[in-house]
């Protein structure tokens, strides 16, 4: 009876171990998450969920090249919303998210590989707008649209500007044209790209208030060896002109 019970327990332990490995993959695998953030990351079908080869964009192509050069394997999923992507990468060993602005309050929450590309922060207005701004403080009197959970929205909130947030940044383009907001706080080139995709053109930049760099953010449990391999691979790709070549495909 005892022998039979031990065999059952042993079998159960093996099953649990194999199930865990099936979910997490080999030790060197990373689970990478991203969002629709054109032209850096995009679902080819335009939806808010995609996996593997159904995702493209500047950052996605660079990350693929990085992992191939580093000899590491990964899975890639694009999902929605960004807040969920951020939380999963923050809380789960072996996870990572891109592209993420490397801000002071995020610095110690992740391990970083990059920069992958720039993301200037701008305030856009309609072409016929009379708004002129010298500083971000001058924008306090206006209704500003931003993307919920994004670093830009978080920064504006911390400075007391109280942005009106949406779950999809591209929705702000039409809100701006329709007069629902006065200004759109977004990234450059991402904002202009999103606006064009929705048929909105002619927007003008009334203030450029920050320059950020975008990174692959890895959970802190990811080994330094893996992080260093990826950083070395990215540095090589940039030196060889591959990063500029990839950007040229989209911009």
Question: What contacts 67, CB < 8 A, 6 or more positions away?
Answer: 73, 74, 230, 233
How many whole angstroms separate alpha carbon 102 and alpha carbon 211? 11
Say how many residues make up the chain.
251
Q: Which pLDDT does position 196 carry in this prediction? A: 84
Residue 163, token pair as written in the block: 């942005």
Q: Which pLDDT does position 29 carry in this prediction? A: 85
Question: What contacts 222, CB < 8 A, 6 or more positions away?
Answer: 30, 93, 94, 96, 111
How many whole angstroms separate alpha carbon 241 and alpha carbon 207? 31
Question: Would the pLDDT of 24 be above 50?
Answer: no
Q: Which pLDDT does position 26 carry in this prediction? A: 44
| Triad 231, 236, 241: Cα angle to 5° | 130
Q: Which pLDDT does position 249 carry in this prediction? A: 87
Q: Which pLDDT does position 17 carry in this prediction? A: 36
pLDDT band at 22 (very low <50, low <70, confident <90, very high): very low
Q: Which pLDDT does position 250 carry in this prediction? A: 82
Q: Which pLDDT does position 129 carry in this prediction? A: 96
Alpha-helical regions (H) of the chain: 2-24, 58-70, 82-91, 151-158, 171-177, 190-197, 224-239, 242-250
Nearest to 60 by CA among 80, 79, 77, 85: 77
Question: What contacts 160, CB < 8 A, 6 or more positions away?
Answer: 140
How many whole angstroms separate alpha carbon 43 and alpha carbon 93? 25
């Amino acid at each position: 009876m005892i022998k039979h019970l031990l065999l059952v327990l042993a079998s159960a332990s093996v099953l649990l171990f194999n199930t865990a490995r099936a979910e997490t993959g080999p030790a060197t695998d990373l689970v990478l998450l991203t969002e629709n953030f054109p032209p850096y990351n995009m679902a080819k079908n335009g939806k808010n969920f995609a996996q593997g080869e159904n995702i493209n964009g500047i950052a996605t192509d660079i990350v693929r090249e990085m992992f191939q050069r580093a000899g590491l394997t990964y899975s890639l999923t694009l999902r929605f919303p960004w807040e969920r992507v951020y939380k999963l990468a923050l809380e789960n060993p072996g996870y990572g998210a891109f592209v993420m602005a490397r801000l002071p309050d995020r610095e110690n929450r992740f391990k970083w590989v990059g920069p992958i590309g720039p993301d200037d922060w701008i305030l856009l207005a309609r072409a016929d707008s009379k708004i002129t701004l010298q500083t971000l403080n001058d924008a306090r009197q206006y209704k500003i649209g931003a993307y919920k959970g994004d670093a830009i929205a978080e920064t504006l909130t911390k400075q007391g500007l109280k942005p009106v947030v949406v779950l999809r940044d591209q929705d702000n383009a039409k809100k701006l044209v329709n007069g629902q907001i006065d200004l759109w706080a977004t990234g450059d080139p991402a904002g202009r790209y999103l606006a064009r995709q929705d048929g909105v053109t002619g927007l003008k930049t009334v203030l450029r208030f920050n320059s950020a760099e975008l990174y692959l953010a890895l959970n802190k449990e990811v080994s330094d060896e893996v992080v260093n391999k990826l950083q070395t691979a990215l540095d090589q790709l940039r030196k060889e002109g591959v990063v500029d070549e990839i950007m040229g495909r989209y911009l």
